[in-house]
Amino acid sequence: MTSTTSTLMTEPAAGRFGDFGGRFVPESLVPACAALAVAFREAWADPGFRSELDELLAVYAGRPTPLTPARNLSAQLGVELLLKREDLAHTGSHKINNVLGQAMLARRMGKTRLIAETGAGQHGVATATAAALLGLGATVYMGERDIERQQLNVLRMTTLGAEVVPVTSGSRTLKDATNEAMRAWVSDVDEAHFLLGSVGGPHPYPWMVRELQRVIGAEARRQSPTVPDVVVACVGGGSNAAGTFAGFVDTSARLVGVEAAGGAAMTNGSPGVVHGARSMVLQDAEGQVTEAESIAAGLDYPGIGPEHAHLGAIGRAEYRTVTDAEVVDAVRRLARSEGIICALESAHAVAWVLRAAGTPDLPTGSRVILTLSGRGDKDMTTMLGGAA
């Protein structure tokens, strides 16, 4: 299979990215997904919608976020490391970019309530924030295990007025929260919008969320003095990476996504269907989805966005893994070298750079843009635990 860079990361034909993507949903959700695709396409072509979103991103979310030279780490590692600072966006992560756009779209479609899934809680916080701003209801499904390790974000969501629903089934993490959120959408599809946080799910979600996150890569490309040698971001479902890669997919830059070693659907998975899309999935010999395991709640997911699966299949993007121990070390190394405490999710990308710098995988002198997808306040309890 071949694709030219000019056709990569555009609107997918029939919701397909090569062999991946599609819309594998209950019959009751097919009309809702189709209507959402039409509504987003119309909104995205509407200058008024784009202008309102751009204004909110600027005056409310704090965009553009800076591209910060990590001078101390660069000197230590022998590479030029530039950090795209999504941790400085309102609510503390890149999630606000997607959520503001989808919440505006929900209001435009006449919906009164947002339904969302969350793992680390950052998407839930962003959803609660947008709901409060735009006068919408918000119900956030969160795995019981993630609630226990992300109490700060649970408090933030409830303070903002959202209902947080604990999910006690399965592994009690992001996969199960997504299952329950989709079930809730089926039962209230006329009034509610399912505000998916990543580039997974049925069409149009992978395309829509990538477009709403494209602002990351577009800004970074304008801010970078030259095209970097490498662009790197952490990957679970992969929205921050998709948004970053979209700004550089038509350049010579290598695109590197970094997965959690205890999950790593791109590295350890096989083609299958999860949450309405065909992608790379962790599954057993019978095709049953298996559990992922990561110190980072936001990467505790058994799949990856279908566009990432396609980019990996055609060789345009590369996917690496790092261990929990490397991630914890990366949080500390960045904090003590640059005074920046990043999220455990973001630290996966940092960990790969720390390991690869000065090797053939990342030669000395390379210029690297790394997306710091979020800040690490939420993870301090985890850092204090046994894993630290």
Cα 191 to Cα 359: distance, rounded to the nearest angstrom = 53
Q: Assess whether 373 carries a catalytic annotation.
A: yes
The sheet carrying 270-274 orders its strands as 16-17, 20-21, 277-281, 270-274
Catalytic residue among 74, 80, 93, 95: 95
Catalytic residue among 74, 86, 93, 117: 117
Q: Assess whether 345 carries a catalytic annotation.
A: no
Catalytic residue among 74, 175, 373, 378: 373
Cβ atoms of residues 372 and 346 within 8 Å: yes
Q: Assess whether 171 carries a catalytic annotation.
A: no
Catalytic residues: 95, 117, 373
